[in-house]
Amino acid sequence: MASSLFKFDQRPRVFKSIYHEIIVIILVCMAQFLSQAGVTMSLSTMNIMLNSFQVTDKTIQVWFMGGYSLSVGTFILFSGKLGDLFGLKKIFIVGWIWVSLWSLITGISYYSKSIIFFIICRAFQGVGYALLLPCGMGILGHIYPNGKRKNLAFGCIGANGPIGAMVGAFMAAVVGQTWWWPWEFYLITILSIILLIGSIFFIPHLSNDEINGEITIKNVWQKLDIFGALTGIIGLILLNFIWNQGPVAGWGKAYIIVVLIISILLIVSFFIIELNFSTHPLLPRSIFNIKVGLILACISFGWGSFGIWQYYYWNIILNLRLYTAIEGGLTYTPFLVMGTIAAITVSFIIIHTKPSYIISFATTCFMVGCIMLSVMPVEQSYFRISMGQMFILCWGMDLSFPAASIILSDILPQHHQGMAGSLVTTMVNYSVSLFLGISSCVEIEIFKHNQDQLGSYRAGLYFGIGVAAIGVICSFVLIFLTKDDLNGNEDLVEEVEHKHEEIEVRNYEINDESDEKEEIR
């Protein structure tokens, strides 16, 4: 049993040696590492940054995390399509160039003395990770066939979530508290340039079957689904903007209501276009089934609640417990240890356990973490509830992300591997930003009534508990629907493959009809 557990598949031929394989995995893992570090580095030093910009209204700090996650989550679906279309390696390299440039500009934004410009720079920095994450996961999904070796590679990506969160928080705290916070972003710039060079030389060239023939403006416009992409991206950005800006500006403002209505209309239009009019939709229609939908819903609600937990955890320890930035960064140490163990573990247990069980356990961990923080006394020692919740939440992060990524990578065809990487990452990042905006609305409204800072933080956490509970319910429904599945996600794969074959046949017939019409003309 033990020997079979650690017996891996043969190394893919694209790798020249085991060292080449390790380097490629590290390059992809660093995208996940820096993406999560980008979230926590603005949390551990948020008071330092507010003071440097001489801002007293702390309600704007929700944009430090929300704006960054918004850009990552919104642009990531489109960037996955770019990778499938133009080549995963090319877009991966462009991603590192983008991150390098905007990390540098974000550091320079200190001289503008404008907190708004800093937030905008952070949002543009997130676009770079939106290019990197799906393409990086797509590269591994393209290289590795289904099996233990692929599961371990995806587990390594998942492990870099909590590692990046801890290192990012602590590194930023040390630099911001003892030196000068712009250097947080200058260091990211230097590291990104190194990773850019490594990606150019070590990432293998992969075949690209999405565009057949010459790449022209016409077929690029069609295959990228530009009209649908613009409708969806603008709608998602406006919806998220309203939930983050509404509590800050006030819900009575006319532009808030107008933009909210416009965002809803755009999102509805996006789905109408994708399902009825688009010849090359951003989301392959073959994935539109209830099981895949429930998996993505669990990821959305689970990670949305975790984003709420992170935001209020840092507010409590910095503003109420009065920890320094470095002390706060050190409290994330359990994520570094247990998160790594959890992420590597999922690559083995997913072979022998139904994915629905893994995701259900993960969503439960997210909910328990929010509950523990909502009842944590301010004066209590860190080594009780504060530390305990870390050991639970790391399982939520590192079971859900790799499990969902592996499932979707397995069920989608080779030319949609960039899309497989983008689906999970989209749900993670956009949900973090959206639900954080709604929870901050709850917090601000409660504070207006009782002027109790701890009580308002807990009100936001209660909303997070409710969000996580919905994810748990979705996971129970998923377990019920997959109760007759005998071999993990094999039935799900067969169902999606059957739908994909039907759509391919339909598209083939449509293309034949178009060719006949052209001949007649």
Q: What residues contact 234, with CB distance under 8 A and at least 6 apart? A: 266
Contact, 175 vs 181, CB < 8 A?
yes
- DSSP string of 21-56? HHHHHHHHHHHHHHHHHHHHHHHHTHHHHHHHTT--
> Tell me, what's the pLDDT at 159?
77
177 in the same domain as 234: no
> Tell me, what's the pLDDT at 389?
92
Q: How far is CA 207 from CA 88, 159, 211, 329, in A?
A: 9, 28, 11, 42
344 in the same domain as 378: yes
> Tell me, what's the pLDDT at 500?
46
Could you tell me the two tokens for 205? 């060239």
> Tell me, what's the pLDDT at 495?
47
Q: What residues contact 119, with CB distance under 8 A and at least 6 apart? A: 60, 63, 64, 67
Q: How far is CA 233 from CA 79, 133, 282, 296, 421, in A?
A: 11, 17, 11, 18, 18
Residue 84 domain-assigned? yes
Tell me how far apart the alpha carbons of residues 442 and 270 are, in angstroms, rounded to a whole number: 29
Residue 6 domain-assigned? no
270 in the same domain as 417: no
* Residues spanned by the domain of 234: 226-279
> Tell me, what's the pLDDT at 212?
46
Tell me how far apart the alpha carbons of residues 457 and 434 are, in angstroms, rounded to a whole number: 17
Of 332, 312, 352, the closest CA to residue 463 belongs to 312
pLDDT tens for each residue of the chain, 521 residues long: 334 444 556 788 888 888 999 999 999 999 989 998 988 888 889 889 988 998 877 777 878 887 888 888 788 767 777 877 788 899 999 999 999 999 999 999 999 989 999 999 999 999 999 899 888 888 888 888 877 787 788 778 877 888 888 899 999 999 999 999 999 999 999 999 999 999 999 998 776 544 444 555 666 666 777 777 788 888 888 888 887 777 667 777 788 888 888 988 988 888 888 777 777 776 666 666 787 788 888 999 999 999 999 999 999 999 999 999 999 999 988 888 887 777 677 667 777 777 788 889 999 999 999 999 999 999 999 999 999 998 898 888 877 877 777 677 666 665 555 565 567 777 887 888 889 888 988 888 898 888 889 999 999 999 999 999 999 999 999 888 877 665 544 444 444 445 444 444 444 443 444 444 444 44
291 in the same domain as 390: yes
> Tell me, what's the pLDDT at 271?
81
377 in the same domain as 242: no
Interhelix angle 355-375/387-411, rounded to 10 degrees, is 150
146 in the same domain as 289: yes
Contact, 79 vs 221, CB < 8 A?
no
Q: How far is CA 245 from CA 61, 74, 312, 433, 441, in A?
A: 11, 17, 18, 12, 9
Single-letter amino acid code for the residue at 505:
V
Tell me how far apart the alpha carbons of residues 425 and 137 are, in angstroms, rounded to a whole number: 10
Check which CATH number belongs to the domain holding 415 and give it. 1.20.1250.20
> b/e string for 104-120 if b means 16 or more Cβ within 10 A?
bbbbebbeeeebebbbb
Residue 1 domain-assigned? no
Could you tell me the two tokens for 49? 């940054």
> Tell me, what's the pLDDT at 502?
47
Could you tell me the two tokens for 254? 């006319």
| CA quadruple 94, 225, 433, 475: dihedral sign | negative
Angle at the Cα of 373 from the Cα atoms of 372 and 379, rounded to 5 degrees: 110
459 in the same domain as 392: yes
> Tell me, what's the pLDDT at 497?
46
Residue 331 domain-assigned? yes
Tell me how far apart the alpha carbons of residues 50 and 110 are, in angstroms, rounded to a whole number: 11
> For residue 451, what is the DSSP state?
-
Single-letter amino acid code for the residue at 68:
Y
> How many folded domains does the chain comprise?
2
> Tell me, what's the pLDDT at 194?
96
Residue 213 domain-assigned? no
Tell me how far apart the alpha carbons of residues 491 and 145 are, in angstroms, rounded to a whole number: 18
| CA quadruple 294, 296, 299, 300: dihedral sign | negative
> Tell me, what's the pLDDT at 8?
58
23 in the same domain as 37: yes
Tell me how far apart the alpha carbons of residues 134 and 129 are, in angstroms, rounded to a whole number: 9
119 in the same domain as 71: yes
How many CB atoms within 10 Å of residue 255? Answer: 10
Could you tell me the two tokens for 171? 């590194």
Residue bearing tokens 């065809």: 413
| CA quadruple 145, 148, 153, 158: dihedral sign | positive
Which pTM value belongs to this model? 0.80
162 in the same domain as 235: no
How many CB atoms within 10 Å of residue 232? Answer: 23
Tell me how far apart the alpha carbons of residues 84 and 395 are, in angstroms, rounded to a whole number: 31
Cα 261 to its chain centre, rounded Å, is 26
291 in the same domain as 237: no
Residue 312 domain-assigned? yes
Residue 357 domain-assigned? yes
End-of-domain residue from the set 257, 279, 301: 279
440 in the same domain as 477: yes
Residue 322 domain-assigned? yes
> For residue 205, what is the DSSP state?
P
